[in-house]
Structure 1
Amino acid sequence: MTDVAQTTPQVEGRSARKRRAIMEAATGLFLRNGYQGTSMDEVAALAAVSKQTVYKNFTDKEQLFRDIILGATDRVGEFTEVVAQLAGTEDLEEDLGELARRYITVVIQPRTLQLRRLLIAEAGRFPAVARDYYQRAPGRTIDAFTDCFQKLADRGLLRIDDPPLAASHFAWLILSQPMDKAMFFGDEQQYTPAELQHFADEGVRVFLAAYRT
């Protein structure tokens, strides 16, 4: 019994490391070669595991692709919790500015943008994955903004007739220029932290000019 208790965590640790290695290898290949241009043999070779191990962890290439894409949304919940805290703010301009800077920093990341471009390219092949990604990431974030702005309006801090529209305005005042350019220019378009902060601050300024009471 003692031997089993001692070895099981090691086995589980090796399994988790192999799964992570497979996902990292597949992500790199998908981003470089696209979904169609990537084979499970290549994934196994790059991850330094057997093909049997790959299929033990992932039924097929479609499941591997899906798990990689949706795995990128795992931390969205942490951000929406931060958004929820804004509803109790005592300094709307300062706290909204901090939230905006965090928002743009999280979204305008090279790997996040690479995965988004990959998913857009494969959306016709995987419409369910594309919908799930939207609901778990952009859609969930907009819902969080909507709920927060409604509560701020109830407190008399914002003047809003259409909270979902206001949430979309807020998101795109901040993200539209860097996001749109990054989608077309790829990894050659890199923004400095100062540039991202400028986008965030100006987005907040315009949003408050339109919606603050």
Structure 2
Amino acid sequence: MTANKEDPRIVRSRALILDAAREVFLESGYQAATTDRIAEKAGIAKRTIYNLYSDKESLFRATIFSAIEVADAFAASLAEEVRLTEASVADLIDIGRRLAETTLLGLPLSLRRLLVMESHRFPDLVTEYRSRAPEAVMAALADLLESMMRAGSLRPASPQLAAQHFAFLVMGADLDRAMFTGIRPSARGARLRAIAGAEAFARAYVSPDRACNSFSSGPG
């Protein structure tokens, strides 16, 4: 075994603890959640939690950071796409679908709701989450759109405003609804609305000479 490789038992325990903590914190809120309940739901000994996380606050922060890591990875993937010579409208449709799936169908949605619930208790965590998750993704998206504008694929506009339009069109209504109700959209519904939203964005922003044959992507 490589010296720096983490013990797989620790990796497994950490995953079980974070999954259970997310459920318990969402069910009960931070104040009422207990490590006993988290340990019970995770199916592990309570002392294992304290071996990995010093206290309940550390565990809560680790739970939120698991959502930040997802956003970090998505922002990094967008930054990589900026290095493409010229992204196409089909690429935008795929990015819109991926953005909706990552945000609405994975960890970020439930953990964003959890953080909003406890924002009065963890204002510093709210600030860090915003800067490293939604704002980082929006900045990377704006960079990508700006590169497409420079290449002539999209008409000149404010990249930051265009990124806001794109994000709302592909997932804004679903995200708003889910934040209030806690009910996720279906995977198929989220994908279809994301594709339709990206196509609506393209109709507004694609350069006139690139508009023909732009919409080749179907619902999948």
Alignment TM class, shorter chain as reference = 0.7 to 0.9
Deviations 1:159-210 (A, max 9, x none): 23321111111111111111111122223x53241x2233222222322232
Residues 162 and 68 from structure 1, CA distance in 2 versus in 1: closer, same or farther, beyond 3 angstroms? Answer: same
1:203 and 2:207 correspond: no
- Written as runs of structure 1 = structure 2, the 5 A alignment for 1:125-144 is 125-144=121-140
Contact kept? 1:22, 1:43, Cα under 8 Å: yes
The answer to which of 200-209 and 118-127 deviates more is 200-209
Specify which of 56, 60, 64 is matched with residue 65 of structure 1: 60
Specify which of 17, 20, 24 is matched with residue 15 of structure 2: 20
Once residues 19 and 91 of structure 1 are traced to their aligned partners in structure 2, the CA distance between those partners, rounded to angstroms, is 38
Once residues 20 and 51 of structure 1 are traced to their aligned partners in structure 2, the CA distance between those partners, rounded to angstroms, is 15
Alignment root-mean-square deviation, CA: 2.6
Across the two proteins, how many residue pairs are aligned to each other? 206
Residues 25 and 54 from structure 1, CA distance in 2 versus in 1: closer, same or farther, beyond 3 angstroms? Answer: same
One-letter code aligned to 1:36: Q
1:30 counterpart residue number: 25
2:108 counterpart residue number: 112
1:47 counterpart residue number: 42
Once residues 144 and 11 of structure 1 are traced to their aligned partners in structure 2, the CA distance between those partners, rounded to angstroms, is 31
Q: Give 1:148 deviation, angstroms.
A: 0.9
Gaps of 5+ in 2: 208-220
Q: Give 1:23 deviation, angstroms.
A: 2.0
Q: Give 1:150 deviation, angstroms.
A: 1.3
Residues 110 and 16 from structure 1, CA distance in 2 versus in 1: closer, same or farther, beyond 3 angstroms? Answer: closer
One-letter code aligned to 1:64: L
Contact kept? 1:44, 1:51, Cα under 8 Å: yes
One-letter code aligned to 1:115: L
What TM-score do the two structures reach when normalised by structure 2? Answer: 0.81
What TM-score do the two structures reach when normalised by structure 1? Answer: 0.83
2:159 counterpart residue number: 163
Q: Give 1:147 deviation, angstroms.
A: 0.9
Q: Which has the higher helix share?
A: 1
Residues 190 and 196 from structure 1, CA distance in 2 versus in 1: closer, same or farther, beyond 3 angstroms? Answer: closer
Once residues 50 and 108 of structure 1 are traced to their aligned partners in structure 2, the CA distance between those partners, rounded to angstroms, is 32
Contact kept? 1:87, 1:152, Cα under 8 Å: no
One-letter code aligned to 2:196: E
Once residues 22 and 108 of structure 1 are traced to their aligned partners in structure 2, the CA distance between those partners, rounded to angstroms, is 22
Contact kept? 1:158, 1:212, Cα under 8 Å: yes
Once residues 157 and 9 of structure 1 are traced to their aligned partners in structure 2, the CA distance between those partners, rounded to angstroms, is 46
Deviations 1:114-135 (A, max 9, x none): 2221111111111111122222
Larger Rg: 1
Once residues 162 and 42 of structure 1 are traced to their aligned partners in structure 2, the CA distance between those partners, rounded to angstroms, is 49
Q: Give 1:9 deviation, angstroms.
A: 9.6
